[in-house]
Structure 1
Amino acid sequence: MSPSDRQLVVGLDNGGTCNNATVLEASGRFLVDRLVETPSEVLNGPDVAVRALVDAFDNILEVTGAPRKLVAAVGLDTPGPASANGVISSRGATNFSQPAWHGFDIRGALEERLGLPVVYNNDGNAAALYAHHLYFGARATAHSSVSAIVGTGLGGGVIEAGRVVRGAVGMGGEFGHVHIPMDGLLEADQPVPTCNCGFSGDVESVASLTGIMNNLLPYWLARHPDHELACAESPRAAAKLVRGYGEAGDPLALKIFEQQAMALGRLFTIAANFTDPSAYFVGGGVVEAAPAFREWFLAKVREHTVLRAEQSAAAVFALVPDLDMAGARGSAIAAMEALITPAAPVAPAVVI
């Protein structure tokens, strides 16, 4: 069915501390242009957290003055791993560590509470979808894109003809655990980085805050023991400070970010040979950095992405915009798309 001009959808972005919400009209206009956050309560278990999502839904309608009777669907995103239908991994996840979360159907639970259809994506896919639609606008369905979102881990998404490629069990676009060549990326004496997932030499082991903390920063500080970051109160605190040093032009920090950019370039090189996308988007903390630094970083990513001449002429490289709102907005877009063209049913598989 096609949504009437008066129909609305609500987008809910579930995070470790806050839920961010937005409202989207069928015309494509968002009714709020800022963060609207409420506590997510995920550490208090599924029942409390689902009630918090309902509170976020009610709050955004109150903030925007949108009538509930016009809301036709809800888009929801959470961090993974989770199935394509929003069932949290049977092993839990960073934000969903309590046993009660393991195998919990967060999408179905919210749908039951609200009495409305709920469309689920993981947070990387939601941000990727928003970046794609914002960049291509009315031409979104004529293009494809890949997005890499650098955060604590490395998320991302594949968009084909304007829609998220979820895969059989919701693992489409899990770029963090793609293995990449390390020759030329690492120094001659630099150990192969390891990932919390157990892999060695995947993208997340380099291009993530965890990769900086566990792999890159220890190596570079061992070579420069007098660096100020060696005095940080903890490895995590030091890792979080690296971006600020990079913005200031610190050579050690720039070397770390160059290695991250090389990793993303190699990831995009692989993606180019699988999907040949129209656009490559980069998101995460680097988007929130000073303009000169983020443009330098994006240029480095492009420099290390090996494309054929025809691909270079057609493809664009860009940053994911409005990152703090991208999840909720992408979730809302997915819900509106589902009203226009319902997706094929997805098997209710659980990520193991």
Structure 2
Amino acid sequence: MDSATVVVGIDNGGTANNATVLTFDGRFLVDRLVETPSRVQDGPQAAVAAMAEAFDGVLAVTGVTRDRVAAVGLDTPGPASADGVISSKGSTNFSQPAWRGYDVRGALERRLGLPVVYHNDGNAAALYAHHVHFGTDAMRRSSVSAIVGTGLGGGLVENGRVVSGAAGMAGELGHVHIPLTTVLAPGQPVPTCACGFDGDVESVVSLTAIEHNLLPYWLTRFPGHSLAGEAPERAAKLVRGYGERGDELAREIFAQQARALGALFTIAANFTDPHAYFVGGGVVETDAEFRDWFLAAVREHTRLRVEQAALATFALVPDRDMAGARGVALAALEAVRALPAPPPLVGD
């Protein structure tokens, strides 16, 4: 491969695809969102065609010819296998029966006639955060990321590479159970998750958790609050703005989320002992004062040993809207650069 070689990253979302182009020497050729409709609600064929349109569109924006593209990175919301097969039960974005068990990576690969590397969107953002934060040391460092949105995604990165797991389900941090004694207020009901679990991280740390678990409780503690007059779904989306303005009810909600993330990262500290802990998603797409307050609260409630605290850093996922596309572009570049696997140390 020469310096003219590029890879393309495509971040697939519920309404839009965002695409980027990365050169073989590690330079992104776009510094903004390049979005096109994702058409996921129109079914797999329409959605894959839309991904191909995103691919062509970003090449047109950057002036790169198709013959220079060595591979494509694709991310979608999970759950999906490590090979990009949507869960047999579907998912929030892929709710139609035709999506269940659909090989979205393979379909795009056949459509484009190029190798396609797949990660879920949480892993993609985690990979990007890791490489931006550590730079030239990325391949010698580890990290754990929590990406807060409608649900809670996440990613584990070890020596610069995503830990996917045997079935591709590693890093599903939202469904890790956490101790709730330091998270919930006295008398607060144990929160439930849409997955059916009680007391996992996503049941506290997600937009869905705010709507169904946290806001209903805290409105009983703040009678007469203006959010009580809003429809639950709209009220949940408004909480972040209230939090930025220092509203007491909203800060109680986000303080609970910070304690829950601290509990999650405490488990990670004892399980993977990473060099860095990253937080991304809507909870930190706010003004600087709120972001700093929230990240400091997460760190305060992450219990590290003295030796760990001396080495660990806490940071936000950078370039939040572009992190997914850039992360899978990095994964595609790593696959293109990869050397043959070493021989086994133990023979048959």
TM-score, shorter chain, exceeding 0.5: yes
Match of 2:346 in 1: none
CA distance in 2, matches of 1:342, 1:78: 27
Deviates more, 1:316-325 or 1:182-191: 182-191
Note the C-alpha offset of 1:318. 0.1
Partner of 2:202, secondary structure, is coil
Match of 1:350 in 2: none
Q: How does 1:47-58 map to 2 (within 5 A)?
A: 47-58=45-56
Task: Report the residue type matching 1:48 in the other structure.
Answer: A
- TM-score by length of structure 1 reads 0.96
Task: Report the residue type matching 1:258 in the other structure.
Answer: A
CA distance in 1, matches of 2:152, 2:2: 37
Q: How does 1:260-339 map to 2 (within 5 A)?
A: 260-339=257-336
CA distance in 2, matches of 1:144, 1:4: 29
Q: Encode CA deviations 1:225-268: one digit per residue, 9 max, x unaligned.
A: 20010011x11100000011110001110000000000000000
CA distance in 2, matches of 1:286, 1:18: 20
Match of 2:115 in 1: 117
Note the C-alpha offset of 1:342. 6.2
Match of 1:77 in 2: 75
Name which of 131, 138, 161 aligns with 1:163: 161
Q: Encode CA deviations 1:201-225: one digit per residue, 9 max, x unaligned.
A: 0000000001111100000001212
> 1:150 aligned to 2:148?
yes
Match of 1:62 in 2: 60
Q: Encode CA deviations 1:115-160: one digit per residue, 9 max, x unaligned.
A: 0000000000000000000011111001000000000000010000
Task: Name the CA shift for 1:68/1:268 in 2 (closer, same or farther; >3 Å).
Answer: same
Note the C-alpha offset of 1:39. 0.3
Task: Report the residue type matching 1:254 in the other structure.
Answer: R
What is the alpha-carbon root mean square deviation over aligned residues?
0.9
Deviates more, 1:18-27 or 1:221-230: 221-230
Q: How does 1:164-179 map to 2 (within 5 A)?
A: 164-179=162-177
Match of 2:195 in 1: 197
Given that 1:126 and 1:331 are in contact with CA atoms closer than 8 Å, whether structure 2 keeps it comes out as: yes
Q: Which aligned runs of 4 or more in structure 1 are off by greater than 4 angstroms?
A: none
Match of 1:349 in 2: none
CA distance in 2, matches of 1:316, 1:279: 5
Note the C-alpha offset of 1:340. 1.3
CA distance in 2, matches of 1:286, 1:91: 28
Task: Report the residue type matching 1:315 in the other structure.
Answer: A
Deviates more, 1:334-343 or 1:190-199: 334-343
CA distance in 1, matches of 2:112, 2:149: 31
Task: Name the CA shift for 1:134/1:96 in 2 (closer, same or farther; >3 Å).
Answer: same
Given that 2:12 and 2:75 are in contact with CA atoms closer than 8 Å, whether structure 1 keeps it comes out as: yes
Higher RCO (CA 8 Å, separation ≥ 6 residues): 1
CA distance in 1, matches of 2:182, 2:5: 53
CA distance in 2, matches of 1:264, 1:7: 40
CA distance in 2, matches of 1:71, 1:12: 13
Given that 1:287 and 1:323 are in contact with CA atoms closer than 8 Å, whether structure 2 keeps it comes out as: no
Partner of 2:227, secondary structure, is helix
Given that 1:131 and 1:321 are in contact with CA atoms closer than 8 Å, whether structure 2 keeps it comes out as: yes
CA distance in 2, matches of 1:181, 1:155: 19
Task: Report the residue type matching 1:196 in the other structure.
Answer: A
Q: Encode CA deviations 1:7-53: one digit per residue, 9 max, x unaligned.
A: 10000000000000000001110000000000000000000100000
CA distance in 1, matches of 2:293, 2:283: 10
The alignment of Structure 1 onto Structure 2 pairs a total of residues equal to 341
Partner of 2:90, secondary structure, is coil
Note the C-alpha offset of 1:308. 0.3
Given that 1:13 and 1:76 are in contact with CA atoms closer than 8 Å, whether structure 2 keeps it comes out as: yes
CA distance in 1, matches of 2:68, 2:26: 15
CA distance in 2, matches of 1:187, 1:259: 9
Q: Encode CA deviations 1:246-293: one digit per residue, 9 max, x unaligned.
A: 100011100000000000000000001111100000001122100000
CA distance in 1, matches of 2:321, 2:13: 11
Given that 1:287 and 1:321 are in contact with CA atoms closer than 8 Å, whether structure 2 keeps it comes out as: no
Note the C-alpha offset of 1:112. 0.3
Match of 2:344 in 1: none
Task: Name the CA shift for 1:98/1:179 in 2 (closer, same or farther; >3 Å).
Answer: same
Task: Report the residue type matching 2:224 in the other structure.
Answer: D
CA distance in 2, matches of 1:258, 1:223: 15
Match of 1:21 in 2: 19
Given that 2:182 and 2:259 are in contact with CA atoms closer than 8 Å, whether structure 1 keeps it comes out as: no
Given that 2:201 and 2:264 are in contact with CA atoms closer than 8 Å, whether structure 1 keeps it comes out as: yes
CA distance in 1, matches of 2:197, 2:283: 24
Task: Name the CA shift for 1:254/1:315 in 2 (closer, same or farther; >3 Å).
Answer: same
Given that 1:216 and 1:256 are in contact with CA atoms closer than 8 Å, whether structure 2 keeps it comes out as: yes
> 1:249 aligned to 2:246?
yes
Match of 2:10 in 1: 12
